Amino acid sequence: MSFSLDASAYRELLKTFLAEDLGAGDITTETTVPSTQRARGEVIAKAPLVLAGIELFAEVFRLLDSAADATIIFRDGEELAPGQIPAGIRASARALLSGERVALNLLQRLSGVATETRRYVRAVEGTGARILDTRKTTPGLRALEKYAVLVGGGKSHRKDLGEAVLIKENHIRLAGGVSAALAAAESARGRAAWIEIEVTTLDELREALVHAPDVILLDNMSPALVRQAVEQVRARDPLRKIRIEASGGITLANVRGYAEAGVDWISVGALTHSAPAVDISFEIEPE
């Protein structure tokens, strides 16, 4: 499955990235490369990866050279093997050199998130569980990192604090307990997409079930304890109206165990806060 991103919607953000990198100007390029020199660049995958951000990559160079011409061969969401070339760019040599780092950093970062997400999605295939991201994103890059999760086959959780109610441990403590927090959260019905509460013990789970929240988050439980929790939720909610989410301490090594325990969602902060950038090069030649 391939994806297409409207990179023009991110032009102002890309301009800030370029301004950060260019500073007072690319002194090396401006003193060594003629302003009239044209060049072509090729993006080359150096490792297996899921592509994400190729339109952004091209947009960086369009900002520096309105005549830049991109040939996109592979789309976001497609898997590349080492040596494959997803895109080529023809533009001013100065534009290619000055925009290279910003364009490549974004492409490597987003493709890294998509690649890591795809690994988790494949690990739970056939279980019915969905892999979700979290708000553990890079400030300023949340929309793009969450897009990369979708490209990798994952699902987006809350985009921001205003989308849904998610009562966590500190909320529970400050509100006066599970029941008090859930009772107070009912005032958000109608403007919150859902009401969710995090529980860490079976006692907290039983207390939460009395209030029938939309989603119950089982936090930092072992797969065996999650299985017990799922059984208790389903016994109380045979029509499966309550979604069950697992989070905390989940890795590629144990994610299938959580999925097989019967949860609907598995949220993984590592998709965005720890995904390694993938190895991609950008080789530039004079025309």
Average pLDDT, integer, range 38-46? 98
Residue 45: HSE in the Cβ half-sphere, 13 Å Cα cutoff: 22
Token representation of residue 24: 């007072």
Find the angle CA(21)-CA(102)-CA(12) to the nearest 5 degrees. 80
Domains of the chain: 7-121+275-286 (3.90.1170.20), 126-273 (3.20.20.70)
Residue 264 has a pLDDT of 98
The per-residue pLDDT for range 130-167, each reduced to its tens digit, is 999 999 999 999 999 999 999 999 999 999 999 999 99
Q: Taking the alpha carbons of 89, 92, 95, 98 in that order, is the dihedral positive or negative?
A: positive
Token representation of residue 189: 């019905």
Residue 101: HSE in the Cβ half-sphere, 13 Å Cα cutoff: 8
The per-residue pLDDT for range 235-287, each reduced to its tens digit, is 999 999 999 999 999 999 999 999 999 999 999 999 999 999 999 999 999 99
Q: Which of 73, 156, 150 is nearest to 110 (CA)?
A: 150
The per-residue pLDDT for range 109-118, each reduced to its tens digit, is 999 999 999 9
| Residues identified as active-site | 101, 136, 168, 198, 219
Q: Which residues contact 73 (CB under 8 A, 6 or more apart)?
A: 85, 86, 87, 88
Token representation of residue 44: 């080359």
Q: Which residues contact 48 (CB under 8 A, 6 or more apart)?
A: 79, 80, 81, 82, 115
The per-residue pLDDT for range 71-98, each reduced to its tens digit, is 999 999 999 999 999 999 999 999 999 9
Q: Model pTM greater than 0.85?
A: yes
The answer to whether residues 275 and 112 touch, using CB atoms and an 8 Å cutoff, is yes
SS3 237: coil
* pLDDT of 16 over the 80 cut: yes
Residue 99 has a pLDDT of 98
- Alpha-carbon Rg for the chain, nearest whole angstrom, is 23
